[in-house]
Amino acid sequence: MDSAELIDRLQKIVEPGYVLSSEMDLALYGYDASLERGRPDVVVVPGSTQEVSRVVALAYREKIPVVARGSGTNLSGGSIPLKGGIVVHFSRMNRILEIDIPNRTVTVEPGLITLDLQNRLLKEGFVYAPDPASQKVSTIGGNLGENSGGPHCLKYGVTTNHVLGAEVVLYDGTVVWTGGKSQDNPGYDLTGLLVGSEGTLGLVTKVILKILRAPEAVKTMLAIYSSIEDASNTVSAIIAEGIIPATLEMMDHLIITAVEESVHAGYPLDAAAVLIIELDGMSDGMDRQAEKILEICKRHGVTDIQVAKDDAARERLWAGRKGAFGAVARLRPSYMVCDGTVPRTRLPEVLSRVMEVGKKHGVLIGNVFHAGDGNLHPLILFDERDEGELQRVQKAASEILKICAKVGGTISGEHGIGVEKIKEMPLVFSDRDLEAMRQVKTAFDPEGILNPGKILPDPLSLPQNR
């Protein structure tokens, strides 16, 4: 089917104004927040499950690739239309369908912005725990696609721990439900399979999420260090004492300076590292827990601790952390985020090896990350227009992931595999492991039309099969 006929057929399913095909639209939807680029043949913006189902059924009959898209903020190329085809943009399907307080669930459409859900729930005294730093823009569908984390996931778990069920459009347009409102569903855990599948197994059109009571009290502290090792050792020591704060986030000197220039969060410019430590829960006992943390920080060489005195001060501390990725644009025009995870006791050693990798390849690296989870985010700063520098960045990123895998960690804590980390999959999975995943993919997508070219390396591309 040629492009004109495809557009014509899609305009019979979705209102013509929601079928986009101008040069500008196709260029815009060829991007996400990664360094990958592609180009769709057409973009549709459906308004209902039925429309999604009819679009996918058409794509299946005609063997056209289909790529689901939330806000395109993923950092691994997950929403790039590598092989052209139809991008299904969920921005119109953004409603909260039901808030069910007695059962502590909320049912939403996938295009809902994460922060819009959080703000709405707070009015009821409830929260949806996963809080990616991109929450002002990211969607629930994208969070599900990537199994996103966030600062509060140390205590509460990542997206998969909060998704109870989903309505899904399968490869041929069939609509099914997985899971449901109950906490434990019989049969195969298809919901678990869908979370983190990056749009390669089905298109999610409704999601049932768990909600929690908003904490009675919150205490946020900024611990300041003159050495990154001291900050890292504090992280392991706090958890070893049996305390699980709501968050334990770290930023190094380079990030602190960039953040201060742009957000003015009040971080000290002479610090080698800072930790944002937040406690939440009942107010009873919280001061005691904060004192214990203070004692641990002192044992590990903290130079100062600031405690946020009110909501405004707390917001300011968080604005720095949440604005960190944007702030580094002051230093270099582009960045690549590595998203490896390591056992948290290995943080000091791995951080120093990351900096050595930066020196070896002549690239600038800043670290801002979910330290409590051992989830590193080395930001490699560069200029995308310099081809030579880009290659050095890619080599450095690959080496960093190898280090993470070698110390018993893995190649993604929360940003997914997409295209960017596909060649690193054999670092953590054997051929047989990958083959088992391919069989799952084939069962869900026999014609290979759902977000092709993502997550699973082509067996022929693996070194041992070449």
Ligand X SMILES: Cc1cc2nc3c(=O)[nH]c(=O)nc-3n(C[C@H](O)[C@H](O)[C@H](O)COP(=O)(O)OP(=O)(O)OC[C@H]3O[C@@H](n4cnc5c(N)ncnc54)[C@H](O)[C@@H]3O)c2cc1C
Q: Which residues bind ligand X (CB under 6 A)?
A: 32-33, 67-75, 78-79, 90, 110, 132-134, 138-139, 141-143, 145-146, 148-150, 198-199, 203-204, 325, 414-415, 451
Q: What are the tokens at 44?
A: 């549709």
- Between 65 and 233, whose beta carbon lies closer to ligand X? 65
In the complex, the smallest distance separating the C-beta of residue 5 from ligand X, rounded to whole angstroms, is 25
Nearer to ligand X, 90 or 444 (CB): 90
CB-wise, 67 or 86, nearer to ligand X? 67
Closest contact distance (angstroms) between CB of 260 and ligand X is 18
Q: How far is the CB of 245 from ligand X (least distance, A)?
A: 17
Which backbone phi and psi does 387 adopt, to 5 degrees? Answer: -55, -40
We find the least distance from the C-beta atom of residue 362 to ligand X, in angstroms, to be: 25
Question: CA–CA separation, 267 vs 322, rounded Å?
Answer: 13
Please tell me the distance from the alpha carbon of residue 246 to that of residue 151, in angstroms, as a whole number. 8
In whole angstroms, the minimum distance from the beta carbon of 111 to ligand X comes to 7
- Which is closer to ligand X, CB of 347 or CB of 368? 368
- DSSP code of residue 215: P
Choice between 230 and 445, CB closer to ligand X: 445
Cβ of residue 382: shortest distance to ligand X, in angstroms? 16
Q: Report strand pairing: 273-281 vs 247-252.
A: antiparallel
- The rounded Cα 189 to chain-centroid distance in angstroms is 22
**CB closer to ligand X, 134 vs 233:** 134
**Number of Cβ atoms within 10 Å of the Cβ of 50:** 14
Q: What are phi and psi of 16, to 5 degrees?
A: -50, -35
How near is the Cβ of 463 to ligand X at its closest, in Å? Answer: 26
- The answer to whether the CB of 65 falls within 8 A of the CB of 29 is no
Q: State the minimum distance, in angstroms, from the CB of residue 77 to ligand X.
A: 8
Pairing of strands 126-127, 163-169: unpaired
CB nearer to ligand X: pick between 267 and 369: 369
- Say if CB 90 and CB 68 are below 8 A apart: yes
Q: Which is nearer to ligand X, 71 or 118 (CB)?
A: 71
Q: How far is the CB of 359 from ligand X (least distance, A)?
A: 26
Range list of H helices, 300-414: 311-322, 324-327, 347-361, 387-406
Residue 49: Cβ within 10 Å count: 18
Distance CA 18, CA 83 (A): 21
Hunting for tokens 């025009």 — which residue is that?
333
Name residue 89's beta-bridge partners: 69
* Nearest CB to ligand X, comparing residues 322 and 344: 322
Give the other-Cβ count within 10 Å of 377's Cβ. 22
Three-class SS state of 424: helix
